[in-house]
Amino acid sequence: VQVGLFSNRAAAHMMLGSPLLAAEDCCAALKLEPLHFKAQIRLARCLLQLGHFEEAKQEAFDVINHKFSNTDQKSDAKQVLNDLEVTQHIVDEVAYQLRELEESNDQQDDGGRDKKCVEDVLQSLKIASQLSPQSSFIATLKAEALRFAGDLDAAEKLVEDVSVKDIRRLCIRARIYFELADIGNCLESLAPLMPALESMNGNGAGSPKFEDDLINPTELLILSQRAHDINQLKERGKTAFSAGDYADAMRMYSEALGMCKYSKTLQALFLSNIC
């Protein structure tokens, strides 16, 4: 009875869009009855929705390969695998396309970005999100695409969860916050990346996986220095202004303005301060 209740409640959680709670109930059911294949298939589906692709694949394969699972159960597990393969293919392809965009455009000219490519990426991510709606990595990729599309506010909402610490998420957080003139959050996002960035800049040995996940590390290092300098100039200008030294304040703000050509919001901030 308990197994059935856990499994049924898991189904209800999934219908309500709560795959994490559903996964917990599936695990509880499987702890009581390890051969409850319906709960295991449901767990695989939950893991897919959460973006845990390898774990979802393992659960589905376990059902498919088990000698006691029946034909219908194997078929349901294969459907999870099919959906997972579709999602993984989209994620891999989009991740590569967005990396190419970042490294080729390097923020030199908004008009030079391939808008059609960005539109196609967002459409692909919409499909992936239907199958894996709570994947943090898909959210990261969508934030990258929305930044290219110029929708910084929507992009920022997707990456504001500070509990997500993966490298690619930190890269896009830093870029978005810089362009939104939030220098504090920009520097905070860059801080965990600095050892690897500095190691790569000095041709030192770093973690290959870490370095592989860094998107355009040379530009990130420049961004870090620029953000640090802008922050210092802003604070020095603020101090000078408070002390009544308006000429010095204007000099600080003007110097900072010259570093802000990639952020219209920062430009507006320092132009306002100069005024």
Task: Say if residues 195 and 202 touch (Cβ distance below 8 Å).
Answer: no
Domains in the chain, start-ordered, CATH in brackets? 2-79 (1.25.40.10), 84-225 (1.25.40), 229-274 (no CATH)
Average pLDDT (4-11) is: 94
Q: When comparing pLDDT for 200 and 272, which is higher?
A: 272
Nearest by Cα to 200 from 183, 184, 213, 186: 213
Q: 23 falls in which pLDDT band (50, 70, 90)?
A: very high
Query: Shortest CA distance to 146 belongs to which of 125, 167, 165?
Result: 125
Q: What is the mean pLDDT of residues 201-214?
A: 63
Structure confidence at residue 198 (pLDDT): 85
- pLDDT of 118 > 60? The answer is yes
Whether 49 contacts 43, CB under 8 Å:
no
Rounded distance between C-alpha atoms, residue 175 and residue 193, angstroms: 13
- Whole-prediction pTM value? 0.88
**DSSP element (H, E) containing 233:** helix 217-242
Please say if the pLDDT value at position 4 is more than 70.
yes
| Structure tokens, 86 | 């579709």
pLDDT in tens, 45-102: 999 999 999 999 999 999 999 999 999 999 999 999 999 999 999 999 999 999 999 9
* Contact of 198 with 170, CB cutoff 8 Å: no
- The Cα 147–Cα 118 span in angstroms is 10
Q: Which of 3, 5, 23, 4 is nearest to 14 (CA)?
A: 23
Q: For residue 240, give the nearest of 192, 274, 190 by alpha carbon.
A: 274
Q: What is the pLDDT at residue 107?
A: 47
Q: What is the model's pLDDT at position 114?
A: 76
pLDDT tens sequence across 129-138: 999 999 999 9
Lowest mean pLDDT, pick from 176-190, 194-208, 249-263: 194-208
Give the chain's mean pLDDT.
91
Q: What is the pLDDT of residue 270?
A: 92
> What pLDDT, on a 0 to 100 scale, did the predictor assign at position 209?
59
**Helix %, strand %, coil % of the chain (to 5):** 80, 0, 20
pLDDT at 106: 53
| pLDDT at res. 103 | 87
User: Does the pLDDT of residue 7 top 80, yes or no?
Assistant: yes
